[in-house]
A and B are shown apart, each in its own frame.
Chain A
Amino acid sequence: MAFDPPPPPFIGRALGCIRGGRAVFAGLDFTVAPGEALVLLGPNGSGKSSLLRVMAGLLRPAFGQILWGDVPAADDAESHAARTHYVGHHDAIKPVLSVSENLRFWARLHDPRPASASQAVDGALAAFGLSHLRDVPGKMLSAGQKRRTNLARLLAAPSPLWLLDEPTTALDKASIKVLEQVMAAHRAQGGMVVLSTHQDVDLPGARELHLDRFAPDSWDEEDGE
C-alpha cells in the first residue's frame, strides 16, 4: 500500500537553532524525497535531537524553514502533524493502560477514521512481537518493551515521514532487525525516514548528515577567525 497521493519531498532550508543562548547549528540544508532515508550523525550535543524536534514542529527554528515541496510546514501545522510520526526519548506509555489500549489511543488520535483501525493496531503489535503482551499494563513492561510499543505507533496509523530520535535505545538485536525491516518496507512504499543514532543501523542507501559540520564554532576555525 503506497501513500496516495505521494507526499512531496521534505526539505529544510538554511536552518539554524539556538538553545540556551548557544548556537547549536546554522546554515543547515537537507532534502528527503519519498523512499529516502537520512541518518543524523554527530557527537553528543551536536543538535541531532534539536533538529528532529525542529522537523517535527515542536521547536521553532531560529533561522530558516521546513518545507513540504514548496509549502512551508508551519503554514499548515495540522497536515504537517498528520504526515509525521515523531519518536522521541520518552515512550509516552501510561502505566495503568494496557499495551493495546496505549497503542490504540495514539493510533486513533493520529487517524480517527475507524476503517480497519483495530486491524492496524493488531498488525503493529504483531510486527514488533508484542501480541502476547497486549493486555499487560504499561507499568509491567521493560524498557525495551516500552520502546517497541512506542515504535508500534509507526505502523498502527500510517504517515509518510518518520522522525526517529535514537530509536534503538534499549532494543535488543532481534528488535533492531525488526525495526530495520519495518523501515525498509516503509521506504519501499514511498515513505521517508529521518533517524539519529549512535549505533549501527542498517539503512541501505541512506544519506548521512554530519551535524558537527554545521556547528558555528567549527566555521570560525575554518574561516580562521
Chain B
Amino acid sequence: MKRFLEVIRRDLRLALRQGSDSIMVVTFFVLTVVLFPFGIGPESGVLERVSAGVLWVTALLASLLSLDRLFQADYEDGSLELLVLTPTPLEIVVIAKVCAHWLTTGLPLLVAAPVLAVLLHMNGDGFTTLLLTMLIGTPILSLIGGIGAALVLGARRGGVLLSLLILPLYVPVLIFGVGAIDAAVGARDATPHLLILGGLLAVALPLSPWATAAALRQALE
C-alpha cells in the first residue's frame, strides 16, 4: 500500500513539475467544445440537443491525447524496468499509475465539463447526471487506455496505433454516458444507464490492470 501511494505521489509530482501535459488536455477539451457553436451555429435548441454527445466525444478524444505519455517516458528512461522489478505485484503499480493519470486528466475534465455544458445550453436537469457519468466514465477511460498505452510501447507512430486500438473500446462508455444524460434531460430515469456504466467500471477495474501488466512485461522482454 505504501508503494502504491509512493508511485501516485511521484507521478503527481512529475505531472506538476512538467505541467504542460495536464493543461494541454483540458485546453484541448475546452477549445474543441467551443468550436461546435461556431460550426453548427448558435441556436440554443440545436446545441442543447447535441450537448451531451459533444461533451462526451470530446472528453474521449482529450483522454486519448494524454495516454501515450502514461508509460512511454518510463519506458524510454529505464524506469519501467525498475517498476516491474519492484517487490510488489506489477498490477498494483499499474493501478497506481492509472490513478495518477486519472487525477491529472480525468479529474480536470470532470471539473471543466459543467462549465462547457452551460456554453452548450445543456438543460439544467442534466448537470448532476453529466457529473455522475463523468465521475464513473473517466476512470474507465484511463483504465482501458492503460492497456493500449502498454501495448503500443516500442512501436513507431504509437499514438495513431493507440487511437485505432482504444477508440472502439471506448464506445460503450460513450453510449451509456450520453444515454444517461439524455434520459435525465428528457425527465426519464437515468439509473439504468448509470448502473451499466458502474458495471463497466467494475469489470475494467480488475481486468485492465491485469492486461496492462501482461502487456508491460511483454514490452520489456
- Give A residues with C-beta under 8 Å from B: 56-60, 78-79, 81-82, 84, 86, 88-94, 96-97, 101, 105-106, 108-110, 112
Contacts and interface: CB of A to CB of B under 8 A. Distances in A.
A89 B86 CA distance: 18
Contact of A57 (B6, B76, B85, B88): B85
A112 B2 contact: yes
Contacts of A59: 220-221
B85 A56 contact: yes
Nearest to A95: B77
Interface of B: 2-3, 6-7, 10, 13-14, 17-18, 76-79, 81-89, 220-221
Contact of A108 (B6, B84, B85, B89): B6
Given A112-B2, A112-B3, A84 B78 contact: no
Contact of A97 (B3, B6, B17, B89): B17
Contacts, number: 67
B2 A108 contact: yes
Nearest to A82: B87
11 contacts: A56-B85, A58-B85, A82-B87, A88-B78, A91-B77, A92-B81, A92-B82, A106-B82, A109-B82, A112-B2, A112-B6
A94 to B, nearest CB: 6
Nearest to B7: A109
A86 B85 contact: yes
Contact of A109 (B3, B76, B77, B220): B3
A108 B86 CA distance: 10
A108 B82 CA distance: 13
Given A78-B87, A79-B87, A97-B13, A90 B81 contact: yes
